[in-house]
Amino acid sequence: MDTLRKQMRKLKKQIRAASSEETNGLLVIWRQLKARHSALSRAESARKKRSQKRRSQERFIRDPFQFARQLFQ
């Protein structure tokens, strides 16, 4: 993710400095990087959400009353 962000920043600088013919090609590459970055970001957030849900379920199964008490504090 970090390398994708760095590549996108570098590409944006190149787009600003490029001529009009080169700009179109660079924009295509930038859109591809952006799509890849968003897909990875969605996947990462889904993984985090899944693990958070799993942890909550484990806490509930371990001690349901304590889990419910924590919800209302």
CB 25 within 8 A of CB 43: no
pLDDT at 35 over 90: yes
Per-residue pLDDT, 22:
92
Q: Quick one: CA torsion of 24, 26, 27, 30, rounded to 10 degrees?
A: 170
The CA distance from 31 to 11, in Å, is 10
Dihedral sign from CA coordinates of 6, 8, 13, 17: positive
Total-model pTM: 0.69
Query: Cα–Cα distance between 64 and 73 in angstroms, integer?
Result: 15
What pLDDT was estimated at residue 42?
97
Q: Give the residue-averaged pLDDT of 58-72.
A: 94
Q: Where are the alpha helices (DSSP H) in 18-62?
A: 20-62
Confidence of residue 20 (pLDDT cuts 50, 70, 90): confident
Please give the pLDDT value at position 67: 94
Q: Provide mean pLDDT across the span 63-73.
A: 92
